[in-house]
Chains A and B, each alone.
Chain A
């Protein structure tokens, strides 16, 4: 072996370290004390698992809240006319409004609904058993298109709904709400009960036991629209009740004025539920703020743990740092190695934390019979956040390590 070298002035070279050597040295540093490294990783794992789990669970929970909300209100649109804009216009809402809207893609059902003025007359039934029983009531009378029953999701306890034929023939039939039926003392249709609206006699065709919207229908007498026009001179439909498919309300809301009043779209007042996404976001932001704050606190504790352990490690490894400087390492090599070690701790903590968080979400959802909602972005961001936390936490210890004078470092360690 020759130790001879050229006699000329050596070219200035900077110390280098290949990436693979850097990874090798950092991993050796981490595996030198596996127990301590594992405990350090644990801090980040807990912090990130808490964040991932809480974000996921809040999303899962709010998804349920929004899901319930969807069922009831998010598919409903109610169209009415603006009286102040419709002076002298008799037909702000056309009679065939329900049929027109039914053609729109996204509309599940549409029906028109109007309250009927039966003058001074009351609703009366014939006294069946009890002559002393009161038989006349001031009940609301509504005229509905046959499709209205579907649009309000009405369910029958007995009998049937009226169809378009009843309306066209101006038949004197009525469907009555369950509350109205109780007041009128009608419990069965077996006897062919009849009611009197003022002077006109109507046969009761069915009793509605429930509706999902327009709840006052349960206390009303509902008669066919054609009959109401004929007998009570109903001038125009008062409301159009529309049920849409989920997510179609904003589109349908925009289309309704054109479909019903292409000549004057300002004549209509279209009431739709608030934007779904906004509702969902609003619910989530409330929940998330709390949960993320909790997760952030645990992450901060994890970061302090990394900083603390790395700092102790720098002090313990002072001799090693001196040796590396003697072997040619520059300050940046030393800083780089310690930063990489703390970054890897954070990264591994992030992977384990995300995995643990997802497991928690799935376990809680399974226990509660919820549908787990996982945001892939959060799971994938977790290792990066962990690495970032590790790097930030490692900055101070790494700077301390890099600032060590090699002479001092070699003197202090073995």
Chain B
């Protein structure tokens, strides 16, 4: 098991509905090594979000096997998949998903709620993460008062709290202007340099180029290499 990739998909298919069936993914084979930064590139409706959800144990495949650090995710119960997410997998979404009525630091602290950790110093740790993404001065703001770029930084701080080592990003710059988007990409590059495993989906070839490895997905079929 010593050399097992962090994430390994074998023959993964995902079918929605029966009549007629929609094949979102067909026979996807993919492995992601520890510390890799993988960009999954593809147009809208290509199945890239479905793939990311399966990687994040939010969705399940209809065929094939998915090993997370050697463990077959298909064998896990709902609670165990929740446990796996809470310990290992962090998400950053296109639409940020911050709770509007909780302060910035409380939003970050949410990352530890479903973990086995202690509540002690949770706020201190969350503040440290906010400082890391350059938002120490926004700790007690409510999210609606922040700019889009700041909101995504809060989401990244939340993803960092709790020591998860796989970060899944769904169009992280999709709601941001180009300059802000590039700043976020810089932040991700820094995290990757620190050893974080990142899987990012994007429809932008330019952003995909910033990753260390690219795969294409079109009509549910995955191919290696840049577009």
Quick check: is A333 within 8 A (CB to CB) of the other chain? Answer: yes
Quick check: is A407 within 8 A (CB to CB) of the other chain? Answer: yes
Q: Is the CB of B79 within 8 A of A10?
A: no
A157 to chain B minimum Cβ distance, whole angstroms, is 80
Quick check: is B66 within 8 A (CB to CB) of the other chain? Answer: no
Interface size class of A (residues with CB under 8 A): 35 or more
Quick check: is A56 within 8 A (CB to CB) of the other chain? Answer: no
Quick check: is A410 within 8 A (CB to CB) of the other chain? Answer: yes
Interface size class of B (residues with CB under 8 A): 35 or more
Contacts of A326 in B (CB 8 A): 56, 58, 85, 91, 97
Q: Is the CB of A7 within 8 A of B2?
A: yes
Q: Is the CB of B119 within 8 A of A13?
A: no
Name the one of A5, A17, A413 contacting B165, with C-beta atoms under 8 angstroms.
A5
Q: Is the CB of A17 within 8 A of B53?
A: no
**What string of 1s and 0s marks CB contacts (under 8 Å) between B131-155 and chain A?**
0000000000000000000000000
Contacts of A320 in B (CB 8 A): 97, 99
**What string of 1s and 0s marks CB contacts (under 8 Å) between B28-40 and chain A?**
0000001100000
Name the interface residues of A6-49: CB closer than 8 Å to any CB of B. 7-10, 12-18, 20-21, 24-25, 28, 31-33
Name the one of A4, A14, A25 contacting B79, with C-beta atoms under 8 angstroms.
A14
Name the interface residues of A92-112: CB closer than 8 Å to any CB of B. none
Quick check: is A146 within 8 A (CB to CB) of the other chain? Answer: no
Chain B interface helix/strand/loop/mixed: loop
Contacts of B196 in A (CB 8 A): 3
Quick check: is A324 within 8 A (CB to CB) of the other chain? Answer: yes
Q: Is the CB of A410 within 8 A of B58?
A: yes
Q: Is the CB of B88 within 8 A of A4?
A: no
Name the interface residues of B60-110: CB closer than 8 Å to any CB of A. 68-71, 76-80, 82-88, 91, 93, 95-97, 99, 101-102, 106, 110
| Contacts between the two chains (Cβ within 8 Å), count | 142
Quick check: is A199 within 8 A (CB to CB) of the other chain? Answer: no
Quick check: is A332 within 8 A (CB to CB) of the other chain? Answer: yes
Quick check: is B45 within 8 A (CB to CB) of the other chain? Answer: no
Q: Is the CB of B4 within 8 A of A16?
A: no
Q: Is the CB of A7 within 8 A of B4?
A: yes
Contacts of B195 in A (CB 8 A): 2-4
A171 to B87, CA, bound (A): 107
Quick check: is A406 within 8 A (CB to CB) of the other chain? Answer: yes
A331 to B82, CA, bound (A): 9
Contacts of A407 in B (CB 8 A): 53, 58-59
Q: Is the CB of A330 within 8 A of B82?
A: yes
Name the one of B68, B86, B95, B194 contacting A15, with C-beta atoms under 8 angstroms.
B86
Q: Is the CB of A15 within 8 A of B114?
A: yes
Q: Is the CB of A25 within 8 A of B113?
A: yes
A220 to B95, CA, bound (A): 99
Question: Looking across the interface, which residue of chain B has its beta carbon closest to that of A317?
Answer: B99
Q: Is the CB of B119 within 8 A of A15?
A: no
Quick check: is A248 within 8 A (CB to CB) of the other chain? Answer: no
Quick check: is B173 within 8 A (CB to CB) of the other chain? Answer: no
A410 to B79, CA, bound (A): 18
Q: Is the CB of B114 within 8 A of A17?
A: yes
Name the one of A3, A10, A13, A17 contacting B113, with C-beta atoms under 8 angstroms.
A17
B131 to chain A minimum Cβ distance, whole angstroms, is 12
Question: Looking across the interface, which residue of chain A has its beta carbon closest to that of B95?
Answer: A414
Quick check: is B197 within 8 A (CB to CB) of the other chain? Answer: yes
A12 to B91, CA, bound (A): 20
A252 to B93, CA, bound (A): 83
When A325-B58, A330-B82 are in contact, do A12 and B197 touch as well, CB less than 8 Å?
no
B181 to chain A minimum Cβ distance, whole angstroms, is 18
**What string of 1s and 0s marks CB contacts (under 8 Å) between A317-358 and chain B?**
001101111111111110000000000000000000000000
Quick check: is A405 within 8 A (CB to CB) of the other chain? Answer: yes
Question: Looking across the interface, which residue of chain B has its beta carbon closest to that of A22?
Answer: B113
Q: Is the CB of A10 within 8 A of B84?
A: yes
A411 to B83, CA, bound (A): 22
Question: Looking across the interface, which residue of chain A has its beta carbon closest to that of B52?
Answer: A407
A333 to chain B minimum Cβ distance, whole angstroms, is 7
Name the interface residues of A223-248: CB closer than 8 Å to any CB of B. none
A19 to chain B minimum Cβ distance, whole angstroms, is 11
Quick check: is B111 within 8 A (CB to CB) of the other chain? Answer: yes
Interface residues of B (CB under 8 A from A): 1-4, 34-35, 53, 56, 58-59, 68-71, 76-80, 82-88, 91, 93, 95-97, 99, 101-102, 106, 110-111, 113-116, 119, 160, 163, 165, 194-197
Instruction: A13-B87, A17-B114, A24-B113 are known; give 18 further A-B pairs, CB within 8 A.
Output: A3-B35, A3-B196, A5-B69, A12-B83, A15-B85, A25-B113, A28-B101, A326-B58, A327-B86, A327-B113, A328-B84, A328-B85, A329-B82, A333-B114, A410-B58, A413-B97, A414-B95, A414-B97
The 5 lowest CB-CB distance pairs between A and B, nearest first, are A328-B86, A15-B82, A328-B114, A32-B101, A13-B83
Q: List 20 A-B contacts (CB under 8 A).
A: A1-B163, A3-B163, A5-B88, A8-B2, A9-B69, A9-B71, A10-B69, A13-B87, A13-B116, A14-B77, A14-B83, A16-B114, A28-B101, A32-B99, A33-B101, A320-B97, A324-B110, A328-B82, A328-B114, A329-B86
